[in-house]
Amino acid sequence: MASAPTYTPIATQTLATGASSVTFSSIPQTYTDLVLVTQEYTTGTPTAYGISVQFNGDTGSNYSNTLVSGNGSSAASSRATNKIGAWIGYESYSANWTNIVTNIQNYSNSTTYKTLITRSSVASNYVAAGTSLWRNTGAISSITVLSTDFGSASTPFVAGSTFTLYGITAA
Amino acid sequence: MILPGILASGISGHLGGNYTSIATVNASGSSNTVNFSSIPNTYTHLQIRGSMIGASGGSILVAVFNGDTGANYTWHELDGNGSGIAAYSGTGNNYARFYGRNVGTSATYPTASIVDILDYTNTNKNKVLRSLAGMDANGSGEVAFASSAWLNTSAINSIVVKTHDGTNFATGTQFALYGVK
């Protein structure tokens, strides 16, 4: 079997000041999968309860998700359709860091819609996993992480929030 | 070392030298199996990353190790389908369960999966894996966690991934095997 090292950091962003969105642009098309690792929380009282991503600047209602979560006393599954962002995790605030690891498989193919699978957690609040869809066959060349799943980023990520994008290449 | 993918709650540093692509299989459309053989024993963990599509039908995604099709596998799974959650389990099965529902039922809505197989060369432990998989189709779909055990202490040197009901993987389906130091 051939083998080759991979799992390459593409870019990392650490917020020096609060921001409502973070964008990775000019993503190379040379990998098979992307992994987005974030740790953040948001300021104020959230008006939305999700963190989302938009691909290639698409702000249309072309995203959907299915998720399962548990908050320590109950578990639930929910779904959203025709959203303007792909859910990757729940929002947190008041210094409770949210950890999210999002996998975007086969991101550069131009035949299928794009599916991501994601896990997120805030130790003091919940754990969750989900899958989201972008109904577009275009190769993903940019990712914008939004501090809401409504597309109106009203509760900024705090300074110190980190966002790292990795690329994985299949042999 | 932090295991990447679904096991990582945070990742730091350059992982390139410690996470290695071992082999990739692209489905031809005429088979429901994917075979990884002669797996090197030089890693600590294995990870299989899948992107699956299908022309029709659907099936659960399963695997067998070292060609063992005996009743030597157990598993648990937690699913969410957008309106409810369900938990399943099995004992004495002849497969490890990767993902429980409707793998790749559409050519345009891929199912994504990541499976971690821990300490696969250890000859003192039964082997365990855990998986995260999901498919959303804007109004339907599912996300699932699963864990399986192979009740065998042998080092894993081959893995056959397959659909349980024989549904072929469509062209465009890909499984990639990685080794983690």
A66-101 tens-digit pLDDT: 999 998 999 999 999 999 999 999 888 777 889 999
In this prediction, residues B142-156 reach a mean pLDDT of 96
Order of strands across the sheet that contains A75-83: A8-14, A162-168, A33-40, A98-104, A114-122, A126-134, A63-70, A75-83
Residues from chain B that touch A135, judged by Cβ atoms under 8 A, are 138
Residues from chain B that touch A35, judged by Cβ atoms under 8 A, are 4-5
Residue A32 to residue A25: CA distance in whole angstroms? 17
Query: What is chain A's mean pLDDT, rounded?
Result: 91
Which residue shows structure tokens 């730091």?
Answer: B12
Do A101 and B135 count as a contact with CB atoms less than 8 A apart? no
For B129, the domain range is 5-180
Q: How many CB pairs under 8 A join A and B?
A: 190
Question: Lowest-confidence range among A35-44, A49-58, A89-98, A120-129?
Answer: A89-98
In this prediction, residues A53-65 reach a mean pLDDT of 97
Tokens of B46: 């294995």
What's B30's DSSP letter? S
Mutate which: A6, A31, A66, A122, vs B, most B CBs within 10 A: A66
B10 confidence band (pLDDT: 50, 70, 90)? very low
User: Which class is domain A18-169?
Assistant: mainly beta
Tokens of B92: 């004495």
Instruction: Give one DSSP letter per residue of A93-133, joined into a string.
Output: BTT--EEEEEEETTTT-SSS-EEEEEEEEETTTEEEEEEEE
Which residue shows structure tokens 């990742």?
Answer: B11
Mutate which: A79, A102, A108, vs B, most B CBs within 10 A: A79
In this prediction, residues A139-166 reach a mean pLDDT of 87
What's B66's DSSP letter? T
Q: Domain tally for chain B?
A: 1
pLDDT of residue A152: 56
pLDDT of residue A75: 94
Cα of B117 to nearest chain A Cα, Å: 18
Alpha-carbon Rg for chain A, nearest whole angstrom, is: 15
Element (H, E) at A42: none
Do A133 and B137 count as a contact with CB atoms less than 8 A apart? yes
Q: Say if residue A112's pLDDT is above 80.
A: yes
Q: Where are the domains of chain A?
A: 18-169
- Report the Cα B20 to chain-centroid distance in Å: 17
Q: How many other C-beta atoms lie within 10 A of the C-beta of residue B83?
A: 10
Residue A105 to residue A94: CA distance in whole angstroms? 33
Which residues, listed in sequence order, are joined to residue B162 by a DSSP beta bridge?
B33, B62
Do B16 and A8 count as a contact with CB atoms less than 8 A apart? yes
Cα of B54 to nearest chain A Cα, Å: 11
Question: Lowest-confidence range among A80-84, A91-95, B68-72, B118-122?
Answer: A91-95
Cβ of residue B22 closer than 8 Å to a chain A Cβ:
yes
